[in-house]
Amino acid sequence: MNDAPLLGDAKAAVTIVEYSDFECPVCRNLHDVLRGMLPNYAGKVRLVFKDFPLEQLHPWARTAAIAGRCAYQQDPKAFWKMYDFSRQSGIISAANAWTPRREWDGC
């Protein structure tokens, strides 16, 4: 999990691994739960993100996963901005998967 986006203390006793698709509406609900929960367990819980694009259901899932990975490689904090953006906007497409990333540094 060393090459995966990580949120929280790397030495936390509890690790949550989220396998997710940026277009998935159920994953969007999980995002809201995790973002609400994590601050209450600072230093005790860490979140690790793993891409799991469901292309059969979500046509832009792989594009979004690639954009997220690119963001992570440029700056791990930029990945989490994209993570939050995808959950707030609810729509990932060829147009908007790359636009926010360009604003953060370009890939």
Q: Quick: pLDDT tens for 18-50.
A: 999 888 888 888 888 898 899 999 999 999 999
Structure confidence at residue 92 (pLDDT): 57
Q: Quick: pLDDT tens for 58-105.
A: 888 888 888 889 889 999 898 888 888 877 765 555 555 555 445 544
Looking at the DSSP assignment, which residues form a beta bridge with residue 69?
none
77: tokens are 């904090």
Q: What are phi and psi of 86, to 5 degrees?
A: -65, -35
Q: Quick: pLDDT tens for 78-89.
A: 888 888 887 776
